[in-house]
Amino acid sequence: MAQATFRIWRGDKNGGAFKDYMVETDQGMVVLDAVHRIQAEQANDLAVRWNCKAGKCGSCSAEINGMPRLMCMTRLDQLDLSMPVIVEPMHAFPSIRDLVTDVSWNFEVKKKIKKFKPRKPDAPDGTWRMQQADIDRVQEFRKCIECFLCQDVCHVLREHQKHDEFIGPRFLVYTAALEMNPLDTEDRVADLKERDGIGYCNITTCCRQVCPEHITITENAIIPLKERVVDQYFDPLKKLFRIFGA
Amino acid sequence: MAGYVTHNYDVLIVGAGGAGLRAAIEAASTGCKVGVVCKSLLGKAHTVMAEGGMAAAMGNVDDRDNWRVHFSDTMRGGQYLNNWRMAQLHAQEAPDRARELEAWGALFDRTRDGRILQRNFGGHRYPRLAHVGDRTGLEMIRTLQDHGIHSGMEVHMECTVLTLMMDGGRCAGAFGYHRERGQFMLWQAKAVVLATGGIGRAFKITSNSWEYTGDGQALAYRAGAELMDMEFVQFHPTGMVWPPSVRGILVTEGVRGEGGVLKNRDGQRFMFDDIPDLYKNQTADGEDEGWRYTQGDKNARRPPELLTRDHVARCINREVKAGRGSPHGGVFLDIAWIKKHIPSAEEHIKKKLPSMYHQFMQLANIDITKEPMEVGPTTHYMMGGVRVDGDSQMSTIPGLFAAGEVAAGLHGANRLGGNSLSDLVVFGKRAGEYAVKFARENAVIHSDETQIGAAMKSALAPFDRTAKEGPYQIQHDLQDKMQDLVGIVRLEDEMQQALGVLEGLNQRAAQVSVEGNRQYNGGWHTAMDLPNLLMVSEAITRSAILRKESRGAQFRDDYPYKDPEWGKYNLITKQGANGEMIVEKREIPPLPAELKQIIEEMK
């Protein structure tokens, strides 16, 4: 079959450069197949992180022709192969080597978010009762495969490097899943405002557009959380009550 | 020579899938110092790939279900080679483990009265699988991960274990390296739990990720532990077959649980043609009864598509060999046909099987709500592994435990779908609990510097070799040959030939060279995986040669029938005094009267 050129970034935290590789392509191939072929035949030490190759684990995140995507779910027949296919690591995280970045910051952020705290069981046998309709939205959030592409595309992290002040779309979705779980009794609204920097998000919806699981990140998760923050802290009527009621 | 970094733990867990995380949570809950080592990032382990559900006889959908039925289903599915104690504990404890996940934040699909919904699956008499659409494994691993990170465990991500540390006959930790940086690491521990998963990468067509290189089985074997049932490799009947680059990716059994049917080129439902005697009483007479079963009719019996995986895989193989297959060498799996019965079938399918819809749409341009899928068998699961004590999960080496896929026993000759996720949490918990007990009773350990030196030397050797063969071609050749010679249909001659091939590959692997440096070097990582893959391949082949019958996942074309005599034995693999591999028969301990009676009653 046809040949295609892959322009892959090679290097580490000290810098690097793009290198071109010619690859034989087969029907149905995805970008990760091409990268593996290069690794097996031309560059044994090429660093690439991957696992399931089925869009379920979220390991092989990269930027393909400038778009944050999973390499395993990007088919070559969706790309213009008359031009070199550009494959780069995610930009929002420090480089380790080649296509692999240091995403450890994400794991640290998650630890700080207050854990799930269920209400007392509903039944004597220690179980709960929930209606499917009440958990549909949370199940949408729990589809997240933690590929961190939403974090990669978010300008607050990518351009402004606010990693110390803003938890990013992934962890706003994570917080939303906890806050909207019908069993949960914890309150994370103060944290969202003060520590997690939810105010930084100005809903450009880039995160929603790159999500491989099609989670409606902004509309279903972030905006309702913003509403809770506004409701608790910026409601003028409530403010009056606070001033005069106390 | 380069140095290494040392960490000290009471309990070390190797692997962070469902079993590893559950073991870590259990151990950490006692206040022990717990370390977890995993090859990938946290939350990416193979458990995320599990789709259909977690088997637990809660009886939420059909109140006739209970642990006795689940136990007898598991034993029947395993063709009675199972460790009956494990099958019993598993059936008894799975419901508690499922409910516990809910208490930790898992959100399973619901019944109308608000309880955990359960679905039908192959070999399970009643709807038994707690599930979340077709992404149950993701729900499980995320729940364990998010709960576990608050339990005090320390996680070492992207690390490979090269050897288990031994201290006079007992296990005392592990030695390996950090994949990201290439730094050597010593994890000293008073007890070690292996939870490393399976061996699927020994075969060419597989649903398994790169991690599944038999590390735990090989580490335990080299440390002197006994392995068991290594001939039993499960080929899942339905993997994708087209396009070539996605060949092997799993198509969940849930498709058939929701009413999907298998057809050959001529549109015939061939599964009705061959129903094993053991299941005749439980299988539907015709299409109508089968459909009613999938829709919850308690008086209907299951359609033949929901027979056990070993059987369905062989039937598909037969159709393809007889020239009745689909264009790309599989058969058709049709869920779209249910629109005949359900008016809003399209929405129903998308809701029940969202990731299947997504997977076929994105990778094969096929809309499963309109067209049938092409499917064929794919290497999926290892029933065999480290031989363990049923209660404690301790291997034959003191201080070394194993849980989940890396351990043998629960599934016998064939695993039922849904029994893996429950296996992980039931025996993950037990392994964690007993590892703590062992660590407390055997606190003093000592690390052998000679062993560390030897491990570092052999790990670095490929960088210095002048021979130019890299690891990828060797791995590729191994996968090709295992697929061809020790695959779904086995023959003595071909397997003898495979032993010769393995010998050659072993020699090549001993001379493998890698380029570049130690930082995140895919070539080096693959070179380190090779000895493990080769070891388990040899164990599979030798065990499959010795077992001269067809049972469960093992199908011998030269011995096509089940032989009651062989039903008395498990096969044990261990290392001989001179490093040679020994495979031998071991009589299965007799079933206690109480369990025997349950099996009789459920026949």
Verify that B371 and B469 share a domain, yes or no. no
Domain match, B483 and B351 both = no
Burial degree of B288 (CB within 10 A; 0-12, 13-18, 19+)? exposed
Last residue of one domain, picked from the residues A65, A85, A101: A101
Dihedral sign for Cα atoms in the order B402, B408, B411, B415: positive
Q: Is A129 on the interface with B (CB under 8 A)?
A: yes
Residue A234 has pLDDT above 50, yes or no: yes
Same domain, A25 and A131: no
pLDDT at A224: 98
Q: Which of B379, B397, B419 is the last residue of a domain?
A: B379
Per residue in B37-84, pLDDT tens? 999 999 999 999 998 899 999 999 999 999 999 999 999 999 999 999
Same-domain status, A35 and A122: no
Give yes or no for residue A151 having a pLDDT over 70. yes
Query: Among all chains, which residue has been given the structure tokens 């080649």?
Result: A98
Measured distance CA(B125)–CA(B73) in Å, rounded: 7
| pLDDT tens digits, one per residue of B539-565 | 999 999 999 999 999 999 999 999 999
What tens digit of pLDDT does each residue of B314-351 get? 999 999 999 999 999 999 999 999 999 999 999 999 98
Tell me the average pLDDT of chain B: 95
Tokens 């030939």 belong to residue: B497
Among B229, B204, B225, B208, which residue's Cα sits nearest to residue B216?
Answer: B225
Whether B236 is catalytic is yes
Question: In chain A, which residues have their Cβ closer than 8 Å to the Cβ of B107?
Answer: 130, 135, 138-139, 142, 181
Assess if residue B475 is contained within a domain.
yes
Edge-to-edge strand ranges of the sheet holding B331-334:
B233-240, B373-382, B331-334, B261-263
Most B CBs within 10 Å, among A23, A27, A57, to test the B interface = A57
How far is Cα of residue B314 from the mean position of the Cα atoms in its chain? 19
* CATH number where A130 lies: 1.10.1060.10
B455 contacts B163 by C-beta, under 8 angstroms: yes
A165 and A216 housed in the same domain: yes
The CB density around residue B318, as the number of other CB atoms within 10 Å, is 17
- Say what percent of chain B tops pLDDT 90: 92
- pLDDT at res. A236: 86
For residue range B176-230, list pLDDT tens digits in order: 999 999 999 999 999 999 999 999 999 999 999 888 999 999 999 999 999 999 9
Question: How high does pLDDT run on average in chain A?
Answer: 95
Answer yes or no: is pLDDT of B1 > 60: no
The partner residues of A6 in beta bridges, in order of sequence, read A21, A85
Q: What is the CATH number of the domain that holds B349?
A: 3.90.700.10
Quick one: A56 and A122 in the same domain?
no
CATH of the domain at B578: 1.20.58.100
Average pLDDT over residues B246-267: 93
Q: Quick check: bond before B243 cis, omega within 30?
A: yes
For the segment A169-189, the average pLDDT, to the nearest whole number, is: 98
Question: How many domains, in total, are found in chain A?
Answer: 2
B312 in a structural domain: yes
Nearest to A45 among B243, B355, B523 (CB): B523
**ipTM score assigned to the predicted complex:** 0.96
CA dist A51 and B212 (Å) reads: 10
Per-residue model confidence (pLDDT) at position B391: 98
Tell me the backbone φ, ψ of residue B22, rounded to 5 degrees: -65, -40
pLDDT at A50 over 70: yes
Burial A84-97 (b: 16+ CB within 10 A, else e): bbbbbbbebbebbb
Residue B128 maps to a domain = no
Residues A84 and A37 in one domain: yes
pLDDT-wise least confident of B165-174, B388-397, B459-468: B459-468
Give the domain extent around B287. 236-379
Give the residue, B281 or B12, on which the prediction is more confident.
B12
What pLDDT, on the 0 to 100 scale, is given for residue B533? 98
| B159 in contact with chain A, both atoms CB, cutoff 8 A | no
A85 and A111 assigned to the same domain = no
- The H-or-E segment that residue B509 falls in is helix B492-510
Evaluate whether residue B492 is within a structural domain. Answer: yes
Q: Is residue B408 part of a domain?
A: no
The yes-or-no verdict on residue B268 having pLDDT over 90 is yes
- CB-CB contact of B404 with B195 (8 Å): yes
In a domain, B468, yes or no: yes
Non-local (6+) Cβ contacts of A80 within 8 A are none
Do A72 and A136 lie in a common domain? no
C-alpha distances in Å from residue A80, one per residue of A1, A5, A66, A89, B299: 15, 11, 13, 20, 56
Structural domains in chain B (count): 2
Task: Kindly state whether residues B374 and B249 are assigned to the same domain.
Answer: yes
Q: In chain B, which residue's Cα lies nearest the Cα of A137?
A: B107
Percent over 90 (pLDDT), chain A = 91
What 3-state DSSP class applies to B349? helix
Sign of CA dihedral B545, B548, B551, B556: positive
- Tell me, yes or no, if B256 is annotated catalytic: yes
Final residue belonging to a domain, choices A48, A77, A101? A101
Residue A246: what pLDDT?
Answer: 58
Query: Hey, CA dihedral for B81, B86, B91, B94, is it positive or negative?
Result: negative
Alpha helices in B550-590 (DSSP H): none
Task: Give φ, ψ of B129 to 5 degrees.
Answer: -95, 110
Q: Per-residue pLDDT averaged across A145-160, rounded? A: 98
Q: Which of B355, B379, B403 is the last residue of a domain?
A: B379
Same-domain pairing of A119 and A236: yes
Tell me whether B519 touches chain A (CB under 8 Å).
yes
CB contacts of A55 in chain B (<8 Å) are: 355, 358-359, 362
A195 shares its domain with A76: no
Of A101, A130, A152, the residue at which a domain comes to its end is A101
Same domain, A120 and A221: yes
Which structural domain range is residue A57 located in?
A: 3-101
Domain harbouring A55, CATH code: 3.10.20.30
On whether both B368 and B261 belong to a single domain, the answer is: yes
Question: Under 8 Å CB-to-CB from B15, ≥6 apart: which residues?
Answer: B37, B38, B39, B45, B194, B195, B196, B197, B216, B404, B406
User: How far is B43 from A144, CA to CA, in rounded Å?
Assistant: 11
Please report which residue ranges of B35-181 form alpha helices under DSSP H: 67-77, 84-103, 136-148
Residues A175 and A232 in one domain: yes
Minimum-distance CB partner of B114 among A51, A121, A129: A129
Residue B248 falls inside a structural domain: yes
Number of A to B CB contacts under 8 A, please give it.
Answer: 165
Q: Are residues A82 and A203 in the same domain?
A: no
Same domain, B369 and B492: no
CA separation for the pair A24, B245 (Å, rounded): 13
* Residue B289, CB-side half-sphere exposure with 13 Å CA sphere: 13
| CB hemisphere CA count around B347 (13 angstroms) | 3
Q: B62 in a domain, yes or no?
A: no
Residue A242: per-residue pLDDT: 78
Helix (H, G, I), strand (E, B) or coil at B261: strand
